[in-house]
Amino acid sequence: MEKNITVILGDGIGPEVTEQSIKILNAIGDQFGHKFKYDYQLMGAIAIDETGNPLPDATIESCLKSDAVLFGAIGHPKYDNDPNAKVRPEQGLLKIRKSLQLFANIRPITTYSALQHLSPLKQERLDGADFVIFRELTGGIYFGEKKINEEKTVASDLCEYSRPEIERIAHLAFQYAQKPERRKKLTLVDKANVLETSRLWRKVVQEIAAQYPDVKVDYMFVDNASMQIIINPKQFDVVLTENMFGDIISDEASVLSGSLGLLPSSSVGTGTALFEPIHGSYPQAAGKDIANPIGSILSAAMMLDYFEMNEEATLVRNAVAWTLAHGFVTQDIDAENNYGTSVIGELIKDFVEQKLPADIN
Ligand code: IPM
Ligand code: MN
């Protein structure tokens, strides 16, 4: 099969982690007879530096034409503490999500037995925890009207949701919960005791639930859910939530895996899908060959699944599990015994190519 992939390296560690994914995709291509063609495009701080625009038109055009987008990370510290900045790298990411109508962001939370002793949480709480967050990605407070008065003393961000916006992602989440490998449970996380938008989410989800009688539905306030993710993560199977709650609880849930650097995501909608690790640009690590490439590599595996190359995706996931099980980890996971970004990428590639020397098998 031939696939056209728009690659957006972005900022900070984005380029170096994505480079590992490309290596692995190429190895998969050679092994299985696929041709992956890459079109490199700009977005984020680097795009502002080079074009003045965080998301140049050429990038969107490439994405719209391609089969999928592989994206690294976005953000630069020079914008973080400048509340007056008119253009920001993040605007590029938000605009691409909106332009490609990527309304559902899927974030699987996996735990690895080899890493459990490194987690700040008790092993028995983690053992078997495995859930998937469906985060709404093109609505809510991120995209509502933003205002600040002239004196810059009062500001507001509008949180708005419409019924169709909730329905389309809710259907995806219910269908996902029905998959044979899932446990047929959906938890809606909201703040329906306070927010009108959350009450609409509950109403719509309650209605839709009737179409999926085999899925057990649960409703949980976001403050409680934040605690439950830590004290009893095994209770979750598919978690459905709005944009900002999903952003927050997915970073929190990464603690279960052992590092934010391990978590991948896919963003799907009506057209081209986008695949990105959930971590940010981690500027302090940029260029040092210390960043964890696994979030990006597992995002590439999600892309292979999306291309219906399931055997290929499984091979990549097995390769990742193999490196973790053998202590080949980056410094975010083990501060003392660790390897560089490119070494981990190379090992995963070697596993894919079945080239590992027998003594480390
Ligand atoms: C994420 C990020 C983004 C978000 C930022 C960079 C705009 O934190 O993808 O989770 O808040 O959605
Ligand atoms: Mn985030």
**Active-site residue 247, yes or no?**
yes
pLDDT of residue 83: 83
Closest Cα to atom 9, ligand 1: which residue? 278
Show Cβ contacts of residue 306 under 8 Å, excluding neighbours closer than 6 positions: 68, 266, 268, 273, 275
Q: Which of 6-10, 127-131, 304-308 has the lowest mean pLDDT?
A: 127-131
The DSSP 8-state label assigned to residue 194 in this structure reads T
Q: Are residues 213 and 285 in the same domain?
A: no
The answer on 312 and 205 residing in a single domain is: no
pLDDT of residue 20: 98
User: How far apart (Å, rounded) are the C-alpha atoms in residues 198 and 310?
Assistant: 36
One domain for residues 246 and 143: yes
pLDDT at 186: 98
* Mean predicted confidence (pLDDT) in 278-287: 96
Q: Which residues surround ligand 2, an ion (CB under 5 A)?
A: 247
pLDDT of residue 82: 86
* Burial class of residue 295, CB neighbours in 10 A (0-12, 13-18, 19+): buried
Query: For residue 190, what pLDDT band results from cuts at 50, 70 and 90?
Result: very high
Locate all alpha helices (DSSP H) within the chain, ordered by sequence.
Answer: 14-32, 45-51, 57-65, 77-80, 89-99, 123-126, 163-177, 196-209, 222-231, 243-257, 294-306, 310-325, 341-352
pLDDT for 359 equals 59
SS3 content of the chain, % helix, strand, coil (to 5): 45, 20, 35
In this model, does residue 346 exceed pLDDT 90? yes
Pair 238, 319 in one domain? no
Q: What is the mean pLDDT of residues 2-23?
A: 98
Asked whether residue 41 carries a pLDDT value surpassing 60, the answer given is: yes
At CA 339, angle to CA 335 and CA 345, rounded to 5? 135
In a domain, 114, yes or no: no
pLDDT at 328 over 80: yes
Written as one letter, the residue type at 107 is R
What is the average per-residue pLDDT within 265-282? 96
Range of the domain at 192: 120-257
Residue of higher predicted confidence among 293 and 355: 293
pTM for the predicted model, two decimal places: 0.95
The whole-angstrom separation of Cα 155 and Cα 42 is: 31
Beta partners for 189? Answer: 220, 241
Q: Would residue 223 show up in a list of annotated catalytic residues for this protein?
A: yes
Residues 103 and 20 in one domain: yes
Secondary structure class of 358 (helix, strand, coil): helix
For this structure, is 79 an active site residue? no
Residues 94 and 124 in one domain: no
Decide if 289 contacts 254 (C-beta within 8 A): no
C-alpha 343 – ligand 1 centre gap (Å): 28
Do 130 and 253 reside in the same domain of the chain?
yes
131 within a domain of the structure (yes/no): yes
Closest CA to 269 of 177, 161, 137, 162: 137
Give me the catalytic one of 11, 237, 247, 332: 247
Among the listed residues 98, 184, 191, 216, the single catalytic one is: 191
* Whether the CB of 247 sits within 6 Å of ligand 1: yes
The residues, ordered by sequence, that sit 6+ positions from 70 with a Cβ below 8 Å of its Cβ are: 5, 6, 7, 8, 18, 21, 22, 274, 275, 276, 296, 299, 300, 303
ipTM for the complex shown = 0.99
Question: Residue 117's pLDDT is what?
Answer: 83
Q: Does one domain contain both 23 and 68?
A: yes
pLDDT at 85: 87
| pLDDT tens, residue by residue, 60-116 | 999 999 999 999 999 999 998 888 888 999 999 999 999 999 999 999 999 998 898
278 lines ligand 1 (CB under 6 A): yes
CATH code of 295's domain? 3.40.718.10
Residue 361 has pLDDT above 60, yes or no: no
The whole-angstrom separation of Cα 123 and Cα 50 is: 47
Report yes or no on 332 lying in a domain: yes
SS3 311: helix
pLDDT of residue 118: 77
Give domain status of residue 278, yes or no: yes
Last residue of a domain, one of 257, 275, 298: 257
**Percentage of the chain exceeding pLDDT 90:** 91
pLDDT of 356 over the 90 cut: no
The yes-or-no answer on residue 359 being catalytic is no
Helices first, then strands: H and E counts in the chain = 13, 12
Distance 249 CA to ligand 2 centre (A): 9
Cβ proximity of 13 and 45 under 8 Å = no
SS3 (DSSP) at 205? helix
> Is 305 among the domain residues?
yes
Among 79, 112, 142, 161, the one annotated catalytic: 142
Cα 278 to ligand 1 centroid, rounded to whole Å: 8
Residue nearest to atom 10 of ligand 1 (CA): 247
CA of 215 to the centre of ligand 2 (A): 28
Average pLDDT across the chain, whole number: 96
Q: Are residues 22 and 37 in the same domain?
A: yes
Atom of ligand 1 nearest to the CA of 244: 11
Domain endpoint, select from 257, 278, 297: 257
The whole-number pLDDT of residue 358 equals 60
282, 326: one domain:
yes
Instruction: Determine if ligand 1 sits within 6 Å of the CB of residue 253.
Output: no
The domain boundary, picked from 257, 278, 294, lies at 257
Query: Is 63 domain-assigned?
Result: yes
97 known member of a binding site: yes
Instruction: Tell whether 157 and 181 lie within a shared domain.
Output: yes
Is position 115 within any domain? no
Question: Which of the following is catalytic: 147, 223, 288, 355?
Answer: 223
Query: For this structure, is 237 an active site residue?
Result: no
Residue 236 lies in a domain: yes
The sign of the torsion formed by the CA atoms of 110, 117, 17, 43 equals positive
Q: Does ligand 1 come within 6 angstroms of the Cβ of 268?
A: no
d(CA 201, CA 317): 34
User: How much is the pLDDT for 119?
Assistant: 81
Tokens 């209770």 locate to 235
Mean pLDDT along residues 246-271:
94
Co-location of 202 and 292 in the same domain: no
Give me the number of domains the chain comprises.
2
Buried/exposed 113-130: b ≥16 CB within 10 Å, e otherwise: ebbbeebebeeebbeebb
